[in-house]
Structure 1
Amino acid sequence: MTHAKLTQPSAGFHASWLESFQEWGTLDQDGSAAFLAARYDLDLREASHFAQWVDLLHQMAVASFRPPEGLANQTTLWITEGTDYLGAASLRHSLLNEYLKEVGGHIGYGIRPSARGKGLAKLALAGALEEARGMGLKRVMVTCKQPNVASARTIEACGGELEGVRPPESFSPELGVTEPIRRYWFHL
């Protein structure tokens, strides 16, 4: 039984986050909002840049904060156990652009490869849904790629209702969708 919990991002998890980065092999870690670092020219391998990124994640959750053009305010939650970073969930406060409306949805989440298969994705999604309820959102969309059976099971286990599966050709080419997308809605 894991003792993992949802926490606020913290610079204290830098070493463990770097281990997760190595496991993923990419900065593009689902739910982590690591893409923001590139927007601000931050190298997350450097402790001071990592701390700036963590501060930015906290700012992104504040309604009065204006994120970079094309990005929505979001709340980021980390899944941790002791000093270990295990994954993240991001709740976008609105679907302000075509990508989020069609493909990205309100919530993204990801678990580092070595921590998968332990129910942590369900913890992440349930926590993000609770945050959405607390913000007063009435409906939220969560998506996953058709081949991602584990994610589809997680979404369905948390009560997501399948709107449908959309083929890549049903999306605008500029969205870069290459696989069918399962779109789910949660009524909060």
Structure 2
Amino acid sequence: MPRLEPPHLRFHRSYLAAVAEQTAGPRPVGPLMAGVLDRHAGGWQESEGFARFVAEMRAWARGDQLPPEMPVPATVLWWTEGDTHLGTLFIRHRLTPQLLDFGGHIGAAVNAGARGRGHATAMLRAALPFAGRLGVDPALLTCDRSNTASRKVIEKCGGVLEDRRGNSLRYWIGTANATKTGGTGSAPGVEASSQS
């Protein structure tokens, strides 16, 4: 069963395969992924380079090693099944004025080969209790108005449209109820894990 967990070294091969698939596709990578590629793609084929990448992803939650494209602390979680990386989700702990217009608290991407199987909806649902425990309530999610798939996922998970700013649709989702139903341990679908 897929679950959210922190970035981990055991996903080395699977993560790089997903990145190769994404960068070979017709859609350009976003600014966050472009920055990651600039900093890490030259060395992450090797175990040590991938370990540096994983350490950076984990450091963002503490507000450390933040790159320009991630201006606030953020918890990065990977959607996984077994040793397979299926997608990435991040929860920004707070918003800047720019993120209030576009970006929001939660961003997610499902790997191209895993799309169309309900992973985006399940991943977002699993993330809401986690966001609540981080003090993010309600959570802002944004998507391009032409991105019907993202819009449907946000709405299925309880997103309420507030407005449109430029091409960005802005939705709010309460996380308090999700946190209560998730209990005091890990949120459903969230696995605590050490780095190595």
Paired residue for 2:21? 23
Paired residue for 1:102? 101
**Helix, strand or coil at the partner of 2:40:** coil
Query: Aligned letter for 2:114?
Result: A
**What is the percent sequence identity of the aligned residues?**
33
The two structures have a TM-score, normalised by structure 2, of 0.77
Q: Following TM superposition, by how much is the alpha carbon of 1:163 offset from its aligned partner in structure 2, in angstroms?
A: 1.0
* CA distance in 2: counterparts of 1:29 and 1:79, whole angstroms: 19
Q: Following TM superposition, by how much is the alpha carbon of 1:67 offset from its aligned partner in structure 2, in angstroms?
A: 2.7
Structure 1 segment 44-55 matched on structure 2, within 5 A? 44-55=44-55
* CA distance in 2: counterparts of 1:61 and 1:35, whole angstroms: 20
C-alpha contact 1:87 1:111 (8 A) present in aligned 2? yes
Superposition CA RMSD, Å: 2.3
Query: Aligned letter for 1:185?
Result: W
Please list every run of 5 or more consecutive structure 2 residues that lacks an aligned counterpart in the other structure: 176-196
Structure 1 segment 26-175 matched on structure 2, within 5 A? 28=29, 34-35=33-34, 37=36, 41-43=39-41, 44-62=44-62, 65=64, 67-68=66-67, 71-98=71-98, 100-167=99-166
* CA distance in 2: counterparts of 1:165 and 1:68, whole angstroms: 28
C-alpha contact 1:66 1:73 (8 A) present in aligned 2? no
Q: Following TM superposition, by how much is the alpha carbon of 1:38 offset from its aligned partner in structure 2, in angstroms?
A: 5.2
Distance 1:185 1:58, change over 3 A: same
Q: Following TM superposition, by how much is the alpha carbon of 1:141 offset from its aligned partner in structure 2, in angstroms?
A: 0.7
The two structures have a TM-score, normalised by structure 1, of 0.80
C-alpha contact 2:56 2:65 (8 A) present in aligned 1? no
Provide the aligned length of Structure 1 versus Structure 2: 169
Distance 1:143 1:11, change over 3 A: same
